[in-house]
Amino acid sequence: MNETKTHYRTCNICEAMCGLEIKHRGEEILSIKGDKDDPFSRGHICPKAVALQDFYNDKDRLKTPIRRTAEGWKEISWDDALEEIATRFRGIQQSHGQNSVGVYLGNPNAHNFGNAIMLPRFFKALGTNSRFSSASADQLPHHVASNYMLGAGMLIPVPDIDHTDFMLIIGANPIVSNGSLMTAPGVGKRLKAIQERGGKVVVVDPRRTETAKKANQHLFIQPETDALLMLALAHTLFEEKRVNLGHLEPIIDELEQLKAAVRPYSPDAVSAACGIDADTIRQLARDMADAKSAVCYSRMGASTQSFGGLCQWLNNVLNILTGNFDRRGGAMFPQPAFDLIAGRKGKRSSYGRYQSRVRKLPFFNSEFPVATLAEEILTPGDGQIRAMLTIAGNPVLSAPGGAKLDDAFESLDFMVSVDIYLNETTRHADIILPSTTGLEVPHYDVFFNSFAVRNTAKFSEPMFEKTGNQKHDWEILRDLALHLTGLDDDGVTPEMMLDGGLKHGAYGDQGMSLDTLKANPHGVDLGPLQPCLEERLQTEDGRIHLAPQLYLDDLQRLNDSGLLDSAERSAYPFAMISRRLPRSHNTWTQNSHRLVKGKDPCTVQLNAEDAKELGLEDGQIAQVSSPVGEICLPVEINDDMFSGVVSIPQGWGHNRSDTAMSVASTQPGVSINDVTDTQRVDELTGNAAFNGTRVNVSAA
């Protein structure tokens, strides 16, 4: 009989990096609990981690390559699959150009140690610029702001939540998300600690979120007006002479240009548009400026909208103007053991190096915005995408204009998916290559240590060995690259590259290495965030650029936006926003019975007065329509909603008949992206503008 063993690892479902203690007997998982000895998460765990066993044991999960045939899906050997893919990709590129093969990376790649390190090698072998990812449906505004202000897209400031005295949260729900570009497990306790030490938490959101309910103050705001609010806060700081640049003042440029730019945006000028009283805006600026330490944190609601680029620039501006940049309790910079910006100082940014073929949207982070993917496939001409490779992604449900992407994928000459499921996207593939997942993979959090609220490092060994026919994602991509190039394997592994990065990183002189982490399965504590920006700043001139010209230029677009256009609102009178669910993460966690059991969470929330005016009752099926589509789903009357705003969760719509996710199909919900529009983007960054989509709501 197998003995009971205990395995320690980091959960790699979301950004929180929670440490897990998993007891198992052979391949039978007995329990999954929070690891109290993990120096970062200290025992915190959310419901998603418990579902790791569901993904491991999922009967729907693919474990062998399959190929589409006239008689349906058939198993195919790895060698035959890889050879066919390489032959088809190279043939299409030879006929139509290198960029005729496109790649889409889904969110799980950011949580995949092997892919995070090895994908650049694969891209070099494939040789295409037609690359897309979930980042442009999420966080591009953060990266562009850091790129232009600080010199590196990955040098993103995070709130020092454990030491701040005042936290302003705009368009974020960190109690549910556990942070998001602020990796912070157990945010609820961290926010409570701010209040217990006499501090204050303020949430600005069109919905009274789970976080807002725990805050000292919640302010409703009209969707897509966050940039106006932040401009008014900056205006007040200048007007009332409350600007204090702190220790960074000697290296900050363009203060006067910024002052001139925000001058027109007084609280009185923006109050009606935002739906927030002018005196309240002024007091909010004073509270932030007067606090012993303070930080502004804005996220999805402020990023995935038409002015996401301005919002994330202004988020940094507010932290700088109040002297809370690179300061304890303010917006600080992690010093990860494996540093993604090491050695990059002065390197030219890829922002705008190319433009998308059809709509001329900017190239950044070596990819184009996903909002333009469908048209790049469907629009004939030189450079048209003829073949696609999707890796751990389901953009038919997660990207804007899902129905259009459905049509686009169906039109391709050839499509390949690296995925463990036959889902709404991979059903269009000619070949599906399944990888290991979750408990079978080693893990080091390459990306999210760069956004963590404390410096730690941890390596997780695989809990279960893969079977003889399985491959890790990075091995699939390595082998495909070898078939594409005809080269021999050089033997490099992700572990080898991680070890080199650790030894040459900030803690290498303290003995940091892969062996060190393997000897410490709970992780290694490297201490709280410390002021370090002057050493980590990546601009060529070593200075902080407070008012880059592209942001000043984009203010005209904000002025001309017509946010109060009555004609538009009469046809589509509601602004739609998305919402995060505690037991859901994008599209791929819905095949866990532990996460989808219970009441259907895929509802349209609206407040009682709006429902009464529409003649809608709680539980009634409503039709939500936009200029590009319509969906039907149950009404949830909820007075946590601002008047004129409706909320629908993202990541659902598992109702296609030719997929194979049996658990998800029992609670399919609807896809919000059947009503979002690929034409709605933040023109500055190319990020998809989901929030603020204009919709009409009526009885179905």
**Has residue 449 got a pLDDT over 70?**
yes
| In-domain check, residue 153 | no
Clarify whether residues 82 and 177 are in a common domain.
no
Backbone angles phi, psi at 675, to 5 degrees: -120, -5
Clarify whether residues 125 and 268 are in a common domain.
no
Contact by Cβ (8 Å): 439, 52: yes
Q: Which two tokens stand for residue 49?
A: 């981690």
User: How large is the average pLDDT for residues 486-514?
Assistant: 97
**pTM summary value:** 0.97
Clarify whether residues 259 and 393 are in a common domain.
no
Distance CA 529, CA 234 (A): 26
Domain stops at, among 398, 431, 464: 431
Domain stops at, among 431, 461, 488: 431
| CATH code for the domain in which residue 257 is found | 3.40.228.10
Distance CA 216, CA 202 (A): 6
Domain stops at, among 415, 431, 447: 431
Distance CA 293, CA 327 (A): 8
Clarify whether residues 242 and 288 are in a common domain.
yes
**Has residue 464 got a pLDDT over 80?**
yes
Q: Which amino acid is at 103?
A: V
| CATH code for the domain in which residue 117 is found | 3.40.50.740
Q: Model confidence at 365, in pLDDT bands (50, 70, 90)?
A: confident
Clarify whether residues 169 and 192 are in a common domain.
yes
Clarify whether residues 314 and 358 are in a common domain.
no
Burial code (b: 16+ CB inside 10 Å, e: under 16) for 656-665 equals beebbbebbb
Q: Model confidence at 257, in pLDDT bands (50, 70, 90)?
A: very high
**Has residue 570 got a pLDDT over 90?**
no
Clarify whether residues 124 and 186 are in a common domain.
no
| In-domain check, residue 16 | no
| In-domain check, residue 464 | no
| Mean pLDDT, all residues of the chain | 95
Clarify whether residues 591 and 695 are in a common domain.
yes
What angle (nearest 5°) sits at the alpha carbon of residue 42, between those of residues 37 and 46?
120
The candidate with the shortest Cα–Cα distance to 651, out of 214, 13, 44, 49, is 13
Q: Which residues pair with 74 in a beta bridge?
A: 67
**Has residue 270 got a pLDDT over 80?**
yes
Clarify whether residues 592 and 640 are in a common domain.
yes
User: How large is the average pLDDT for residues 314-321?
Assistant: 98
**Has residue 623 got a pLDDT over 70?**
yes
The candidate with the shortest Cα–Cα distance to 577, out of 284, 184, 173, is 173
Please enumerate in sequence order all residues whose Cβ is within 8 A of that of 473, keeping only pairs 6 or more positions apart, or say none: 109, 112, 114, 115, 391, 392, 418, 435, 436
Packing angle between helix 473-485 and helix 78-96, nearest 10 degrees? 50
Distance CA 441, CA 464 (A): 8
Contact by Cβ (8 Å): 230, 192: no
The candidate with the shortest Cα–Cα distance to 35, out of 446, 466, 456, is 456
User: How large is the average pLDDT for residues 122-145?
Assistant: 97
| In-domain check, residue 516 | no
Q: Tens digit of pLDDT for each residue in 192-227?
A: 999 999 999 999 999 999 999 999 999 999 999 999
Burial of 386 (0-12, 13-18, 19+ CB in 10 A): buried
| In-domain check, residue 664 | yes
| CATH code for the domain in which residue 621 is found | 2.40.40.20
Distance CA 377, CA 130 (A): 10
Please enumerate in sequence order all residues whose Cβ is within 8 A of that of 560, keeping only pairs 6 or more positions apart, or say none: none
| In-domain check, residue 60 | no
| In-domain check, residue 588 | yes
First to last CA, the chain: 58
Contact by Cβ (8 Å): 591, 664: yes
Q: Tens digit of pLDDT for each residue in 168-198?
A: 999 999 999 988 999 999 999 999 999 999 9
The number of folded domains in the chain is: 3
pLDDT at 171: 98
Q: Which amino acid is at 546?
A: L
**Has residue 565 got a pLDDT over 80?**
no
User: How large is the average pLDDT for residues 72-93?
Assistant: 98
Q: Tens digit of pLDDT for each residue in 633-657?
A: 999 999 999 999 999 999 999 998 8
Clarify whether residues 645 and 571 are in a common domain.
yes
Half-sphere exposure of 10 (CA within 13 A, CB side): 33
Range of the domain at 692: 565-699
Burial of 64 (0-12, 13-18, 19+ CB in 10 A): middle
Clarify whether residues 245 and 115 are in a common domain.
no
| In-domain check, residue 651 | yes
**Has residue 564 got a pLDDT over 50?**
no
Q: Which residues pair with 101 in a beta bridge?
A: 387
Q: Model confidence at 346, in pLDDT bands (50, 70, 90)?
A: low
Secondary structure class of 32 (helix, strand, coil): strand
Clarify whether residues 234 and 273 are in a common domain.
yes
pLDDT at 186: 96
Distance CA 519, CA 557 (A): 54
